[in-house]
Amino acid sequence: MTFFPDYFTRVAACISNADLAGLSRATQLLRQTHKRGGKVILVGNGGSAAMASHVAVDLTKVAAVRAINFNEADLLTCLANDYGYEHWVEQALGLYSDPIDLIVLISSSGKSPNILNAALKAKQMNLPVITFSGFDAGNPLRKLGDLNFWADSHAYNIVEMTHHVWLLALVDKLAAESGRGA
């Protein structure tokens, strides 16, 4: 009968291990992107893609910060078919990003080739990048962002829940600052 208490303790510990100064800096980057008229582009795979979609909607609706994600099946399959799965996100960035945008890349392992290539493309385009990763502290994605958040766990769901809470905390912080909620 200790599974649930132990599990929730692990989740809470991972969430509480947030880089608070980094989250404040991320809030500033999101606010600056909005003030410049830019948009936030969020990308992930699997559960992280679903999270990117949720956060993009909440950034736009709740925090009044324009945000998009690349979860359209036709976009993903077209670009993956033409350029390979490992290159579809970088191709989408080339097609949809503007010089005033902010890129948020989410990968539990920090090793997803399409996300790593997207980070390199964003850097090549001089776009600011925020990363969310987990698993190994030395994962490659954690080295590619201007601001990098790492969840200290090797369990997918714990990493994803941690990322989700941190990302939604950013939304709520922006909403609270603008008097829109939270």
Both tokens of 106, joined, read 């989410």
Both tokens of 64, joined, read 């009044």
What is the structure's pLDDT at 182? 58
pLDDT, tens digit, 9 for 90 and up, residues 66-113:
999 999 999 999 999 999 999 999 999 999 999 999 999 999 999 999
Is-contact 122 93, C-beta < 8 A? yes
What is the structure's pLDDT at 179? 81
| Domain coordinates in residue numbering, the chain | 3-177
DSSP line for 84-139 = -GGGHHHHHHHHH--TT-EEEEEESSS--HHHHHHHHHHHHTT--EEEEE-SSTT-
What is the structure's pLDDT at 1? 78
* Homologous superfamily of 3-177: Glucose-6-phosphate isomerase like protein; domain 1 (3.40.50.10490)
Helix (H) or strand (E) holding 53: helix 47-61
With a cut of 70, which residues of the chain have pLDDT below it?
A: 181-182
What is the structure's pLDDT at 93? 98
